[in-house]
Each structure stands twice: as C-alpha cells, then as structure tokens.
Amino acid sequence: MISLPHITAITPNRSLLHSTNRPVYTRRHVQQRTTMALPSPKRVVLVRHGQSTWNEEGRIQGSSDFSVLTNKGESQADISRQMLLHDSFDVCFTSPLKRSKKTAEIIWGSREAEMIFDYDLREIDLYSFQGLLKKEGKAKFGEAFRQWQEDPANFIIDGHYPVRELWSRAGSCWSGVLGHESKSVLLVAHNAVNQALLSTAIGLGTEYFRRLLQSNCGVSVLDFTPRADGGSPHVCLNRLNQTPGSPLAGGSSGGRKASKQIILVCHGQSDYEASTNDQPMNMLGVIQSQKTAELLLDLRVTSIVRSSTTASIETAGVISRVQEAAGCLGVDSVPRYVNTKQINELDVEDIIHKSNKVAASISQMEEETVSALWNRSEKAWESLLDELSSDEDTGDAMVVVGSPTAHISLIAQCLNLDKKCLELFHLDAGSISVIDFPDGPSQRGVIRCTNYTAHLGRWSVPITTPV
C-alpha cells in the first residue's frame, strides 16, 4: 500500500514581519513516506468536470448527485477531449457522480481501455450545505459559512471537518491509482477532490485548499518517477489547470475576484542549453513570444518586469510592441503604453553556469547551486510583491519575463515552500503561469495555472509528452 506524504502545517512566524506588513510564514519542507515503490514511470492526467447546472446556478454541490452538465459543460469536455485526443491512456478513473461520469465519457470517446468508477473520487462532502445557493448558505449558517470561505481547513459542519476528511480520502485514492498496472492514467473528478489529489501528491496540507485552482475541464498533469534507491517516487507537477479557455479571461479564486495578478511568462526557446553564453531566441522562440503577446492582448498590460538575459529582453520587447499596437490591430481604441523594468534578481543563469556539474533539471543541481538559486529567487519574489503593491503603473496585472528555472523558484516562493521543493514543478519555454491575489499582494497568492501552453498551438509541447 502507498501511504501519502506526511504534512506539517505552515504557521506564522510572529517574530518576522516584513516592512510592507506582509505576513511571513515558516518555510516548510515536504516530508514523504511510502511503503511501496513504483516499478516504472507513471503519468496521471487530472480533469475537473465541465460546467454543471448547479455551477451555473451558484448552488453548493458537494457530493450530491442532482446536477448534470450544461451545454457549455459538454462543450468544455469536448475541448478537453481534443487536448488529449492523441494520448494512449491505459485506464480511466472517474467519480461516478453524473457530472463527472459524463465528462469522462466524452473525453474517453471510443477508447476501449478500462474505465473504473471510484466513489472515493466524489466531490467533498459538505453535509447541510449541499443544495443551498451560496447566498442561502450565508444567511442560514452565518459564522460557519464565513469559516468555509475564509478558513476552510478548520471549517466544521454537522460535527465534520470536510476538508480534513477530503485530504484523508484523497490519500486513499492514490493507493489505487498508483497501484494500478498502468503507465498513463486519466482521472476525471471534481474541483475540491482534484485539489486534494494534487496537494497530497506533492506533499501539501489542508491549508493549501483553494491555492491550486481547478477550472471546469481544466487539465493538470502529475509525473511519478521511480527513484534508484527504490524509495518513494519523485513527483512533479508538470502542468496545472490547462483550461479550455484563456486563463486570463477572468473568474475568481475561492469565490473572490483577484485584485492583482502576476503573469509569469517564460521567454521563448533559445539555444541556451548548448552554450554557457547568453543566447538570443531561435525561430521557435520568436514564434512562441509572438503567440504569448497575442494571448496577452486579453489584458491591458501596463508593466513588464524582466531579467537581463537576451531572450527575456526580446520576449518582453515583442509583448510591449504588440500591446502598443493594440489600436491598429483592432483590439483597443485607447492607446496602450507599457513600462518595462529590469530586476536583476530574476537572473539565474550565472548561478547555474558557475556550477561544476552540468544539470538538465533542478533535481540534478548541486546543493550549493540550489541554495544560491533559492536565495536569489527569495529576493526576486519580494521585489515583485513590492512592485505590485506600490507602483500604480502596474495596474491589476504585472507581466514577469524570465527563464523557466527562475519562474519555478517564484512559484515555490509564492507557496511558502523551501528550496528542496523546487523539483516539484516543471515549466516549458514559451509557457505562462498565473498567480492571483484575491486579497491583494500583501496576502497569500493563489496559483491559477502553471505551464499553460495551449496558446502556442502547433508549437506547444503536447500535454501528454513525457518530461
């Protein structure tokens, strides 16, 4: 049997208060324990069900089974089907609730491989909340509803702690999924349970509920790789919440609209890996940067922060020029002006190349290199939050252009992890990741998506391509 990562809670460090009144949290390290090793690599692709009738009504669903997919929900499921069309899944695990079951059937299509309906994959049990409109829940339960919104990890109703129960159930689910004789798994379930599955896989506790968003039919990817010593498999979140629509289209985080956003843009592909010298983008990178700039037209970008590398400068320049050409492109009649700023703390290439060992990934870097990378990223994250908090020119969204390695570090900083957790994430050149701040940049960030590449079209890295 596979047991899950042992979780230790993050607690505020009262002796440390940042000058901007941002709360400081003790860094945590993921502690994993397992009694069974994987015999071979396994990829698990998680999908949340499409929009349901109760989603549309704003009704609390929980584990009830009265709502069904709307026409929009079926359309979203079909887009996810197209995303995954060429993958040869060995098995599909799905919640048996109607909205999830229908989504799984649409995505699964004509595949003849096995479908397993697992009741443990049902949505979070919310007891007396289930079936109520959100405004009814607030009116009827008052303080309990407030706690559900603001402190879900400690939320209690009818004598139950729903989020704690969910985390325990998600742990049991991994035993069946990872123990199954398969290399490629499709798992279709629900918002909260998918959050719990992702979190328990990479070692995050109940305090991370609503920190890793799951949109309707959003696709997330986890890679499990055996370790040479036969111990607990290495886990990597390859992709979070690849949505059928643009991740910049709006929406809410935990029921609240984000007041600020950081858009992490990985610069376009270069031949950097082949040389110790700073390299410009190659032709693929130029195309990737143009596609990213086109996607960002959905936002009015007023501020770009970048590293000093050539590829980052070129990518930021493409985004800026496209923004300022919005009028002649027929997107906006109001002139757009973009302020670009360089933050040297985003530069990590010099740290990597000082290492005596050439590493293809963060997990292969020497300890000294990882420590130097982490220390610099901590300074970069603080600089970005200060910039977002104090500079009115940033507007509601700030675009940050840098390398995949730099942005992985920023994501880990956002989640208050420590340097040993950097290997939990993967980003591709040309991808974007989005961090929401529903309570402003002085409070915790919410990860809307990571490694989003759908905007790159035929030049994107397919979701199911192994790392």
Q: The domain spanning residue 309 has which CATH number? A: 3.40.50.1240
Q: What is the pLDDT, as a whole number, of residue 430?
A: 96
Calpha distance 30→28 (Å, rounded):
7
Residues 6 or more apart in contact with residue 168 via CB below 8 angstroms? none
Residue 347 lies in a domain: yes
Write out pLDDT tens, residues 93-111.
999 999 999 999 999 999 9
Residue 34 lies in a domain: no
181 and 324 in one domain? Answer: no
Calpha distance 12→352 (Å, rounded):
32
Calpha distance 357→2 (Å, rounded):
34
Residue 331 lies in a domain: yes
Listed residues 220, 242, 264: the one ending a domain: 242
Residue 3 lies in a domain: no
Model confidence at 349, pLDDT cuts 50, 70, 90, reads: confident
Closest CA to 213 of 245, 251, 170, 266: 251
342 and 217 in one domain? Answer: no
Listed residues 210, 242, 274: the one ending a domain: 242
163 and 193 in one domain? Answer: yes
Q: What is the pLDDT, as a whole number, of residue 271?
A: 82
The answer on whether 62 is annotated among ligand-binding residues is no
352 and 229 in one domain? Answer: no
Residue 179 lies in a domain: yes
Q: What is the DSSP string of 274-301?
A: G-SS---B-HHHHHHHHHHHHHGGGS--
Residue 27 lies in a domain: no
Lowest mean pLDDT among 50-59, 188-197, 264-273: 264-273
The answer on whether 59 is annotated among ligand-binding residues is no
Listed residues 215, 242, 269: the one ending a domain: 242
Q: What is the DSSP string of 13-59?
A: EEEEE-TT--EEE--B--B---S---SS-EEEEEEEPPPBHHHHHTB
182 and 133 in one domain? Answer: yes
Query: Which domain does 258 fall in, by range?
Result: 252-459
Q: What is the pLDDT, as a whole number, of residue 242?
A: 94
The answer on whether 54 is annotated among ligand-binding residues is yes
Residue 33 lies in a domain: no
Model confidence at 121, pLDDT cuts 50, 70, 90, reads: very high
> For the whole prediction, is pTM greater than 0.75?
yes
222 and 300 in one domain? Answer: no
What dihedral do alpha carbons 109, 111, 117, 122 form, nearest 10°? Answer: -40
- Domain tally for the chain? 2
Write out pLDDT tens, residues 404-413.
999 999 999 9
Q: What is the pLDDT, as a whole number, of residue 158?
A: 97
Calpha distance 254→195 (Å, rounded):
12
The answer on whether 32 is annotated among ligand-binding residues is no
260 and 226 in one domain? Answer: no
256 and 233 in one domain? Answer: no
The answer on whether 52 is annotated among ligand-binding residues is yes
263 and 236 in one domain? Answer: no
- Provide the 3-class DSSP secondary structure of residue 215: coil
The answer on whether 172 is annotated among ligand-binding residues is no
* 3-class SS string, 197-213: HHHHHHCCCHHHCCCEC
Calpha distance 286→267 (Å, rounded):
9
422 and 379 in one domain? Answer: yes
The answer on whether 341 is annotated among ligand-binding residues is no
Left, alpha or beta for 203 (phi > 0: left; psi -120 to 50: alpha)? left
Active site residues: 49, 123
Task: For residue 381, give both structure tokens.
Answer: 């994250």
Alpha helices in 130-208 (DSSP H): 134-141, 143-150, 162-179, 191-202
Considering the chain, what percentage of its residues have pLDDT values greater than 70? 85
Residue 309 lies in a domain: yes
Considering the chain, what percentage of its residues have pLDDT values greater than 90? 70
Write out pLDDT tens, residues 144-175.
999 999 999 999 999 999 999 999 999 999 99
The answer on whether 98 is annotated among ligand-binding residues is no
Phi and psi angles of residue 425, each rounded to the nearest 5 degrees, phi first: -130, 155
326 and 224 in one domain? Answer: no
199 and 316 in one domain? Answer: no
